[in-house]
Amino acid sequence: MMPDVVEWTAYHLIKWKKGSEPDESDEETYQGLSFLISNCSVIFLSLAIAFFTGNLVECVFAIAAFWTTRMVTGGFHMKTLTGCVVLSVSIFTVISYLEIPDSYFLYFLVPALIIIAIWRDKEEQINLKHILVICGFAAILLGLFIVPSTVALSICIQALTLFGRR
């Protein structure tokens, strides 16, 4: 089986920095670095694709809406971080291209909010990230005026990930 690219990279970065094989004491560093590489990869790759395709604004709001909703609700997780990167970049790229009429965005947003209210992870409470989440919600509200269909689709897709964990 091929190793996860993100985890492989994190392992070798720790090994390079430490000058020897990582041990159990490096586990927290390894997990944090893997998470950081994964998230940075998603953002960088999504924004790079959006920049070259001319959908940068849509992509920025798609990421902000998805991320903020995810922070508050939780959701399905892929088995590998590389799988997460590939799926997330694909979602943000597709969302930035999809355009639904502004008059229909409520057909995506309202069911998504109902799903979130019922299925959200009750344990996934906002703890140390209050300011980031408030900024994210501000981005969502701004996005609803600038690119409402993109924001509605992002929230809708994030809401659908809640079904994958049950």
HSE-up of 23 (CA within 13 Å, CB side)?
3
Q: Which residue has the tokens 């992870």?
A: 121
Contact assessment for residue 90 and residue 50, using Cβ atoms and an 8 Å cutoff: no
pLDDT tens for the chain, 166 residues: list them: 456 888 888 888 888 877 777 676 778 888 888 899 999 999 999 999 999 999 999 999 999 999 888 887 888 888 889 999 999 999 999 999 888 887 888 888 888 888 888 877 666 555 545 666 677 777 778 888 888 888 889 988 988 888 865 4
Q: What is the pLDDT of residue 1?
A: 47
Confidence (pTM): 0.82
Instruction: List, as one string, the DSSP characters of 122-141.
Output: TT----S-HHHHHHHHHHHH
Give me 83's structure tokens. Answer: 């799988």
Report the alpha-carbon angle 116-63-70, nearest 5.
30
Q: Which amino acid is at 68?
A: T
Nearest C-alpha neighbor of 3 from the set 89, 79, 88, 90: 79
Burial of residue 105 (number of CB atoms within 10 Å: 0-12, 13-18, 19+) = buried
3-state secondary structure of 18: helix
Nearest C-alpha neighbor of 140 from the set 130, 127, 155: 155
The Cα-based distances of 147 to 56, 63, 156 in angstroms read: 11, 12, 14
The Cα-based distances of 82 to 34, 42, 60, 70, 163 in angstroms read: 10, 10, 21, 18, 21
